Amino acid sequence: MADPKLLFVYTLMLLYLFYYGAGSMEYKVINDVPKTPGSIRYTNEIGIPYTKELLPKVTNFIWSTIFQQNNPADRKNFNVIQVLITKLQKVPAGVVAVTIGNQMNISSDVIQEYKGDVKWYFTTTVYHEATHIFQWTGEGKCPRGLVEGIAEYTQIKANYVPPTGYTKPGDGNSWDQGYSFTARFLEYCDGLVPGFVAKLNNKMKNTYDVSFFKELTGKPVEQLWTEYKAKYGKKNY
């Protein structure tokens, strides 16, 4: 028989975790190369205060809207999210960010070179990279194209894609082509099964299999792709 006093303490602890657990995330932003032109532009046009405001907004958007993980136990368990403005080493020129674990490393060179509204570009990059922090990848078994497609899907849902010239529904050569092509396809799947991306992500906690598409929609992924292309009047090639 459980000690009622102890039970009371446990209940209080659970309530505390329930109400404050989600708010206990810490957001760190570090300008690692503060004297470089890219970092100076970061400070002038984006800034640490804006980044610290943005991060909890993006995190909550991913938890609630994209992955629909209202129960904190379903989420990837991080206490800290870190953003580093830095010089990326050993990556091809033009790569904007590398995310490992709970840390996104954002290229000061790309910030320097970006033509246009760099604050907008930084924001959409954070939506993308934060998705990588929180998404499940089937212990690494999920194809890269799908991992990138889900990150890009967050950018579309957050309305952070260019108003013109962006990939349209029906574009692309295969469902796992990645980035915007896969993201548009995931949008279509979400139209068939509401919360599709959230459900797919949940299934990928421990493993991945392409049959997840069939389990969720009743149709194999290749058939979904053919029907998707047909819906938008484009040949499947």
Q: Which stretch binds Zn ion (CB under 5 A): 8-16, 29-37, 149-157, 169-177?
A: 149-157
**What is the rounded distance in angstroms from the CA atom of residue 47 to the CA atom of residue 182?**
32
Q: Which residue is nearest to Zn ion (CB)?
A: 151
- Residue among 148 and 176 whose Cβ is closer to Zn ion: 148
- Residue among 36 and 58 whose Cβ is closer to Zn ion: 58
- Residue among 86 and 155 whose Cβ is closer to Zn ion: 155
**What is the rounded distance in angstroms from the CA atom of residue 209 to the CA atom of residue 230?**
25
| Best CA proximity match to 124, nearest among 90, 153, 101 | 153
Rounded to a whole number of angstroms, the minimum distance from the CB of residue 147 to Zn ion is: 7
Q: Is 151 in the site for Zn ion (CB under 5 A)?
A: yes
**What is the rounded distance in angstroms from the CA atom of residue 102 to the CA atom of residue 233?**
41
Number of residues located near Zn ion, criterion CB under 5 A: 2
Q: Which stretch binds Zn ion (CB under 5 A): 55-63, 151-159, 213-221, 223-231?
A: 151-159
- Residue among 104 and 224 whose Cβ is closer to Zn ion: 104
**What is the rounded distance in angstroms from the CA atom of residue 144 to the CA atom of residue 137?**
9
Rounded to a whole number of angstroms, the minimum distance from the CB of residue 133 to Zn ion is: 11
- From residue 112 to residue 131, what is the string marking binding to Zn ion with x (rule CB under 5 A)? --------------------
Q: Are 81 and 27 in contact (CB under 8 A)?
A: yes
- Residue among 109 and 148 whose Cβ is closer to Zn ion: 148
**What is the rounded distance in angstroms from the CA atom of residue 160 to the CA atom of residue 44?**
21
- Residue among 138 and 229 whose Cβ is closer to Zn ion: 138
- From residue 91 to residue 110, what is the string marking binding to Zn ion with x (rule CB under 5 A)? --------------------
Rounded to a whole number of angstroms, the minimum distance from the CB of residue 58 to Zn ion is: 14
H-helix or E-strand containing 111? helix 108-113
Q: Which stretch binds Zn ion (CB under 5 A): 9-17, 78-86, 148-156, 189-197?
A: 148-156
Integer angstrom CA distances of residue 237 from 85, 146, 165, 201, 223: 41, 19, 22, 27, 13
Rounded to a whole number of angstroms, the minimum distance from the CB of residue 142 to Zn ion is: 12
Q: Is 58 in the site for Zn ion (CB under 5 A)?
A: no
Rounded to a whole number of angstroms, the minimum distance from the CB of residue 144 to Zn ion is: 9
Q: Are 189 and 146 in contact (CB under 8 A)?
A: no
**What is the rounded distance in angstroms from the CA atom of residue 112 to the CA atom of residue 118?**
9
Integer angstrom CA distances of residue 129 from 20, 42, 105, 119, 188: 25, 17, 9, 15, 22
Chain residues in the site for Zn ion (CB under 5 A): 148, 151
